[in-house]
A and B are shown apart, each in its own frame.
Chain A
Amino acid sequence: MTGWIWFWAIVKILCVVLLAPLMAGWVKWLKCKLQNRQGPAPWQPYLDLQRLARKQVVLADTASPIFRIAPYIVFSVTIIAVSAVPVITVKLPIAALADVIALVGFLALARFFLSLAGMDVGTAFGGMGSSREVTISSLAEPALLMAFFTLAMNVSSTNLSTVISHLAQQHFTLYPSLIFSSLGLILVAIAETGRIPIDNPATHLELTMIHEAMILEYSGRHLALMEWAAMLKLTLYSLLIVNLIVPYGVALTLDPGDLAFAALIVTVKLFIWSCFLAVSETVQAKMRLFRAPQFLGLAFILTLLGMMSHIILEVQ
């Protein structure tokens, strides 16, 4: 029995990793349609990744070993982070590996190496991207942790499986803390996955880009890994948002019928979330970099308010 659980856990990780490009491509396609553009097909990222993986790597002569190991570390760490997130069931053997704090730690570790890689070649672009990335994430990360803490205090556990299964079984009540922390979580997710209005995944304009600036010197399979890790991160945050804010429909048992139903529900939830993302990216413009702190400050205040209201109003 335990062997099967592990098998399914690995299948789950593989599914998320393999479907992440589709998620990114789908959001892009939807955005193009909303903006009256033709746009590439949703499966275009697969073709891009395949092309990149086949191409020869061209390395800058100033690059150090950090530049070469960073893509592998970033990608592997993101996979480990994915493994801790319940997708369709809360019966997760790997849940003991890491809780939400460790999850945030993994994302921070990936970002650490990504930013180092940006500084490695010694060009102005890379340094600029790294500097902006660490600035934005140093504001976003506390907000993210606060949002998680509020949920964790609600069920007095930081284990994601426990949190989601408690929330799903709880009698539905619209707590103020949940509203505040959900809003904060969404703002953080937008900032951390490099979407409009903080960063624009489609741009290569030097004054605006963050993520693209850091990976500007990458090519071939290294670039493929970096791009894939970014898509994986988008999927990871999407899953966190849909499963934490609307935990209903996540299977609490390993019954095949439940699992199939849960898979369907998660797909629907992700569909709604991606529509929201595409619409929000269509109606907004990118912010100036120095307005980003206000955006993230709002996220931090919201999550802090969520936690305060939980402690002051909701703890009996």
Chain B
Amino acid sequence: MALNIAQFAVLATLCSAVAPLVFLRLPYLQIRISFLLLGVSGIAAAWAGGLALLSRTTEQLILPLGLPWLHVYLRLDPLSGFFLFIVGFITFIAACYGPGYTREYIGGPNSVGPLTLFTGLFVGGMFLVLLAADAFSFMLAWELMSVASYFLVVFQHHQEENRRAAFIYLLMAVVGGAFLFLAFGVLAAFSDSFSFAAMQTAPLSPTWASIAFGFAFVGFGLKAGIVPLHVWLPQAHPVAPSHISALMSGVMLKVAVYGFIRFVYGLLGGIQWQWGVLVLLIGSASAVLGVLYALMQHDLKRLLAYHSVENIGIIYIGLGLSMIFSATNHMEIAALALIAALYHCLNHALFKSLLFFGAGAILQQSRQHDMEKMGGLIKKMPVTAFCFLIGCISISALPPFNGFVSEWLTFQAALQGPILRSGIIGAMIPVAAAMLALTGALAAACFVKVYGVIFLGRARSPEIAEARDPSFGMQLSQVILAICCLGFGIFPTWTVRALNTIPQNLMGAGLAGGAADGWLWLTPVSSQTASYGGLAVFFALLVCWLIVFAFLHQPQRDNRIRIAPTWDCGFGSLNSRMQYTATSFAMPIRRIFSFVWLIFEKVEPAVEGKGPRYLLKISDRFWLMIYVPIGKLMLKLAERTAFIQGGNLRVYLCYSFFTLLFLLWVIV
């Protein structure tokens, strides 16, 4: 049943890709049809996923497609169901948002045809990755997702910057795909089959398992954007249209996380603790460096993209903890850490899409993506401002919103570290917890900056002063996501209970505690150890507020408020340039952590006719330290081997022929 609905969802996305091409002359109709079908497929996918997760069943299907001995295996179990739910739900919300947002592209330099075509293929690719149950169709779907999203990134290709970003993205996707081929290749070699069911039982030696793990870690990590493989992410995500940015940041990264979980827990099995330590370390590094890089950005969408690196880091911290605990046979704690990571996947999808939708609304209204030119938007766009505020609070992991719950669960898992009774790992876990704490605090600092600079204060440019709330669909999608952020924050027990089926399915052990004290209190280990009541906190907050308000607004008093100009110390009127900017707000942090970035700072003194100038350039250390040398090396190698390219067609055919012979010889 669930699998049939999922297949219907895939078909609907393919229709949404192809059907609008019939109406190439009618761009409005084209957009409407495309997003309508996309929305339908999103609902279907979320339904199928939710059904698979809640009914705790696994459905399989073998489609007689492709080569005679290479059928397409489809499977929907709770893990893929959960991710299908996330992808489907965010797709549905993006389909509500899309029509209003893409309207501005009509009559622009680029036809909307490619946009609708590749959006459908991209979403369809993601659905198929989640449903695939053999390496062959998994890789096909994976590449479909990568290539389709490349065309979405390069959609506004008249700008040089976008083409460059998309090229880097494609390059990294190809490299990532190659690593995945190697990872699946190892498993396929030992199991003589491409189907996941056969791979699961493949007799792998620990060394080969570690090698396969290494390939998968790099391959999925490239797509997920862990440090130091993240460099494509802050370039590609900001230049795509905003609803695509939301899908890429909120959802596509989760598909990579799904792949990693499926590969490690589902296919490899026999997890070794060293893998967990690696994942934990890389996760901690991604979390801290991601948020530090985000703090230095003043392009809103790029800032959000760096926050995706941070959040993927948090998810990887949870996964690393889970792997360490399951390798040392503490299955309940491993289940807790896995649930924390999965919960954060859901939360990140919700609030990151919300924030990207908000950024898109601002971009559409003001054509501005530089935060230094914004300000005072809360009075111009109240609905967007309110939803964005909820997104900011959620991503900063503040109670009673959803980001807090998943970080709280991760902390609870980390605090069980001492049961490992091993010095090295035992010392590693607190360091990861410290990094997570630092990340949370810095994220809150960053989002004070974001919200304060964009929505509060005075407008810093005339275009910003003209901004208004966007169209109804765009407002609605933000409101729905904001409500979800609150809902998953104050009703965590139901979510945790639903998620509990996934570790039960993968590791054979789930949480014992969960909701031992009733649905109101979240008690992951036991009620003595720790508990958190999201709903109670929310109501206590409201009650306190009401009491304080009533106390201060006693009817016999004159409660009127006098509005007056801001006190300017008698120096004449204040203007918008006197405010703190995003750069100046982050300056103390830049000074404290100055070793993290490559900072170029220069003050040019005033010359006649021109005032003094301040130049500041902050670049990504990893780009210059790792990628630029690799690029140079590749160029050099290419120059050396260029002599074999004579330009003669017959020579090239000869090369192909001998390569083919060589490969045949290898196989035989």
The residues of A with any CB-CB pair to B shorter than 8 Å are 53-54, 56-62, 64-66, 72-73, 75-77, 79-80, 83, 95-99, 101-102, 105-106, 108-109, 111-112, 115-116, 118-124, 126-128, 130-132, 134-135, 137-142, 145-146, 149, 152-153, 156-159, 162, 217, 221, 224-225, 289-290, 293, 300, 304, 307-308, 310-312, 315
Contacts and interface: CB of A to CB of B under 8 A. Distances in A.
Q: Is the interface of A mostly helix, strand, loop or mixed?
A: helix
Residue among B434, B451, B549 having the largest count of chain A Cβ atoms under 10 Å: B434
A131 B587 contact: yes
B457 A217 contact: no
B557 interface: yes
B445 A61 contact: no
Contact of A80 (B378, B408, B444, B541): B541
A97 B533 contact: yes
Nearest to B549: A72
A122 B584 contact: no
B95 to A, nearest CB: 31
B560 interface: yes
B588 A131 contact: yes
A122 B415 contact: no
Contacts of B563: 58-61
Contact of B580 (A53, A112, A127): A127
Contact of B457 (A58, A119, A137): A119
Contacts of B437: 141-142, 145-146
Given A60-B565, A315-B418, A96 B438 contact: no
A72 B530 CA distance: 28
Contacts of A102: 399, 404, 408, 532, 537
A65 B438 contact: no
B548 A127 contact: no
Contact of A122 (B451, B456, B531, B562): B456
B578 A123 contact: yes
Interface stretch (B81-89, B235-243, B423-431, B634-642): B423-431
Q: Which interface residue of B393, B426, B440 has the most chain A CB atoms within 10 A?
A: B440
Interface of B: 375-376, 378-379, 389, 393, 396-399, 404, 408, 411-412, 415-418, 421, 423, 426-427, 430-431, 433-434, 437-438, 440-442, 444-445, 447-449, 451-453, 455-458, 517, 521, 527-533, 536-537, 540-541, 544-545, 548-549, 552, 557-558, 560-567, 574, 576, 578-580, 584-589, 591-592
A132 to B, nearest CB: 6
Contacts of B589: 135, 138
Contact of B532 (A99, A135, A140, A308): A99
Q: Is the interface of B mostly helix, strand, loop or mixed?
A: helix
B545 A73 contact: yes
Given A64-B378, A134-B448, A157 B552 contact: no
Contacts of A140: 441
Contact of A97 (B537, B560, B591): B537
A168 to B, nearest CB: 16
Contacts of B433: 145-146, 149
A158 B530 contact: yes
Contacts of A146: 430, 433-434, 437
B452 A115 contact: yes
Given A54-B557, A76-B545, A141 B440 contact: yes
Nearest to B540: A80
Contact of A106 (B399, B451, B561, B592): B399
Contact of B537 (A60, A80, A137, A312): A80
Contacts of A116: 448, 451-452, 456
A122 B565 contact: no
Contact of B458 (A57, A62, A79, A158): A62
Given A64-B378, A115-B448, A131 B580 contact: yes
A72 B442 CA distance: 24
Given A97-B540, A159-B528, A58 B564 contact: yes
B544 A76 contact: yes
Contact of B444 (A61, A79, A138, A153): A138
Given A123-B579, A127-B580, A315 B421 contact: yes
Nearest to A153: B418
Contacts of A132: 588
9 contacts: A58-B561, A58-B564, A97-B532, A121-B566, A122-B576, A127-B585, A138-B445, A308-B430, A310-B418
Contacts of B567: 60, 217
A105 B398 contact: yes
A111 B423 CA distance: 36
Contacts of A135: 445, 588-589, 592
B541 A77 contact: yes
Contacts of B448: 112, 115-116, 119, 130, 134
Nearest to B397: A105
A54 B438 CA distance: 41
Contacts of A153: 415, 417-418
Contacts of B430: 146, 149, 304, 307-308, 311
Contacts of A131: 449, 580, 584-588
B242 to A, nearest CB: 24
Contacts of B444: 108, 111-112, 134, 137-138
Given A122-B576, A139-B592, A98 B532 contact: yes
Contact of B445 (A109, A137, A225, A315): A137
Closest 5 CB pairs of A and B: A127-B580, A119-B452, A122-B457, A76-B544, A134-B445
A158 B579 CA distance: 41
A123 B574 CA distance: 8
A303 B544 CA distance: 33
Contact of B544 (A80, A97, A308): A80
B417 A289 contact: no
B398 A99 contact: no
A156 B415 CA distance: 8
Contacts of A152: 415
Given A72-B545, A124-B580, A304-B434, 14 more contacts: A96-B531, A98-B399, A108-B440, A119-B456, A122-B578, A123-B566, A141-B441, A142-B434, A145-B411, A146-B433, A159-B528, A217-B566, A304-B430, A307-B430
